[in-house]
């Protein structure tokens, strides 16, 4: 008997049409390596196996291991680990040589995205279920950008695939969800993504304030000098952080070095 646990942010997806769209978005080839985080009852896992994927499933809940082993046997490689602490290279994963497809535990979504976007070995593509609000932030454009938008878009090109209402899960959560696809992109030459993200965090420190005020408060230059830099890169000197694109942040970081 599968009983969802709040401690693991477990809600079982019961809508097969959503799984089908996740598989289609992944564009899997027979024999392709796939990492699934939190296979749960195995609904998505079954679809991955049927698509011909070579599945590595990482599950933190020990009570789910035996049922999953019984259901899939040697069709998948099943590992009982906390995905945030596991050494990915130790699992045989190689940079750009696998895809991450999963219904993510919502309590650790941001930490998972940070790990798989910023740290090697990285997947070539992520197809993940996240809270609707998180999906909106991931693919946001000015004037609705946030730190998560910058952090995801500097590493990947994102696209919302399908909205998933709360009724598609058991037990029914309090929020709706969205499947998002993230395709990893090459970092531009001379760009330090983490340094750019750190600058964005400073810029968003007080969202109601003008960007130049937040940057000046962090002693990245005096107010007038920062205003001039903003104008030099084509931005309003009174711009707020949410108005900047990722390219704007990259150029701003280079000018403030």
Q: How many CA atoms lie within 13 A of 84 on its CB side?
A: 11
The pair of three-digit structure tokens given for residue 148, joined into one six-digit string: 């998560």
Report the 3 state secondary structure along 202-232.
HHCCCCCCCHHHHHHHCCCCCHHHHHHHHHH
- CATH number of the CATH domain containing 217: 1.10.8.100
Statement to judge: residues 200 and 231 lie in one domain: yes
Structural domain ending residue among the three candidates 184, 208, 239: 184
- CATH number of the CATH domain containing 91: 3.40.50.150
State residue 149's pLDDT score.
98
Statement to judge: residues 161 and 218 lie in one domain: no
Statement to judge: residues 203 and 168 lie in one domain: no
| Count of structural domains within the chain | 2
Statement to judge: residues 68 and 125 lie in one domain: yes
Statement to judge: residues 70 and 143 lie in one domain: yes
Cis before 179 (ω within 30): no
Radius of gyration of the chain (CA): 20
State residue 156's pLDDT score.
98
Statement to judge: residues 29 and 119 lie in one domain: yes
What's 242's DSSP letter? G
State residue 172's pLDDT score.
87
10-residue mean pLDDT series, the chain (257 residues): 55 91 97 96 96 96 93 97 91 96 92 96 97 97 97 98 94 92 94 97 94 96 94 96 97 93
**Residue 218 domain flag:** yes
Q: Which domain holds residue 225?
A: 193-256
Structural domain ending residue among the three candidates 184, 211, 234: 184
**Residue 1 domain flag:** no
Structural domain ending residue among the three candidates 184, 206, 235: 184
State residue 188's pLDDT score.
85
**Residue 137 domain flag:** yes
Statement to judge: residues 209 and 150 lie in one domain: no
State residue 5's pLDDT score.
55
3-class SS at 108? helix
Backbone angles phi, psi at 142, to 5 degrees: -55, 140
- What does pTM read for this prediction? 0.93
Dihedral sign, CA of 59, 65, 71, 77? positive
State residue 241's pLDDT score.
98
State residue 6's pLDDT score.
58
**Residue 163 domain flag:** yes
CB neighbours of residue 112 within 10 Å: 20
**Residue 13 domain flag:** yes
């Amino acid at each position: 008997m599968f009983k969802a646990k709040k401690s693991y942010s477990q809600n079982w997806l019961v809508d097969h049409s959503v799984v089908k769209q996740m598989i289609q978005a992944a564009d899997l080839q027979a024999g392709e390596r796939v990492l699934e985080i939190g296979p749960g009852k195995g609904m998505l896992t079954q679809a991955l196996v049927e698509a011909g994927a070579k599945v590595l499933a990482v599950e933190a809940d020990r009570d789910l291991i035996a049922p999953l082993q019984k259901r899939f046997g040697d069709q998948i490689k099943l590992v009982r680990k906390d995905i945030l602490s596991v050494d990915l290279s130790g699992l045989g994963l190689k940079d750009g040589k696998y895809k991450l497809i999963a219904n993510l535990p919502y309590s650790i979504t941001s930490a998972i995205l940070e790990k798989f976007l910023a740290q090697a070995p990285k997947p070539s593509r992520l197809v993940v279920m996240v809270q609707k609000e998180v999906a909106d932030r991931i693919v946001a454009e000015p004037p609705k950008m946030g730190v998560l938008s910058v952090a995801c878009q500097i590493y990947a090109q994102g696209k919302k695939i399908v909205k998933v209402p709360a009724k598609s899960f058991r037990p029914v959560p309090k929020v709706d969800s969205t499947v998002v696809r993230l395709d990893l992109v090459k970092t531009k030459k001379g760009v330090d993504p983490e340094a750019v993200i750190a600058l964005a965090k400073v810029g968003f420190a007080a969202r109601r304030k003008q960007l130049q005020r937040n940057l000046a408060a962090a002693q990245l230059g005096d107010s007038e000098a920062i205003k001039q830099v903003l104008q030099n890169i084509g931005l309003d000197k009174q711009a707020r952080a949410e108005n900047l694109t990722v390219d704007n942040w990259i150029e701003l970081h280079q000018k403030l070095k």
